[in-house]
Amino acid sequence: MFDYYYIVLVVPTLLLSLYAQFKVKSTFAKYSQIQTQRRITGKEAAKLLMRTNGISDVGIQQVAGSLSDHYDPAGKMLRLSEPVYDKTSIAAVGVAAHETGHAIQDKEKYGPLVLRSTLVPVANIGSTAGPYLALAGIIFSINLLLNLGIILFAVAVLFYFVTLPVEIDASRRALKVLESNAVLSQDELRGAKKVLTAAALTYIASALTAMANLIRLILIARDRR
């Protein structure tokens, strides 16, 4: 029954995650080869968009890796990866604008972002310790450990689902400010939207995979009663 739940619930979402990773990498690679008409870099686009939205307390740093871009609300820092920071491609500008969208959310105290930031400490514990506690509960037949693991992991799953509206809204804001500030042409905006849509799919896949694993643990716990 343990393997049955894994095959039926988890494997399909893992396949979706693999497809999502392939899609975001291939789409990003494609639009990284297409330069914007304005030849504006990711860093320059982020600075422009933050300035036009009245944000002056957020810094911009370059970080190593690819697709490692993120906004740190605690440190008030926009961190852009090497293929984004000083590149003038449609992908670079789109990703930089997306991260700027998070900075705009932070300035406006966007509810889901505030909730996600609050959940981070517990979600980190839940995503790491939760499955191990549940596994220990199964191996040693200790229902208390199994149930505690499920509860902790449920918080992590909640975090994944709270992340979805945060990311989708950031992309919506990004495309809006890119258009209103004439950073990208209409054709370029369509390319940027494809990049951000592909990225959103990875978050959806992660949330579904986490939910599938949670349901699997709940069903295992039910079968043990």
Is there a catalytic annotation at residue 179? no
Angstrom CA distances, 180 to 43, 45, 53, 109, 196, stand at 18, 13, 11, 22, 18
Angstrom CA distances, 69 to 94, 132, 146, 183, 203, stand at 11, 29, 35, 20, 14
In this structure, what DSSP letter does residue 10 have? I
Place of tokens 């307390």: 57
Q: Report helix, strand or coil for 59.
A: strand
Cα 95 from Cα 58, distance rounded (Å) = 17
Catalytic residue among 44, 82, 99, 179: 99
Query: How many CA atoms lie within 13 Å of 163's alpha carbon, on the beta-carbon side?
Result: 21
Dihedral over Cα of 22, 23, 29, 32: its sign: negative
Closest CA to 221 of 119, 158, 129, 130: 130
Active site residues: 99
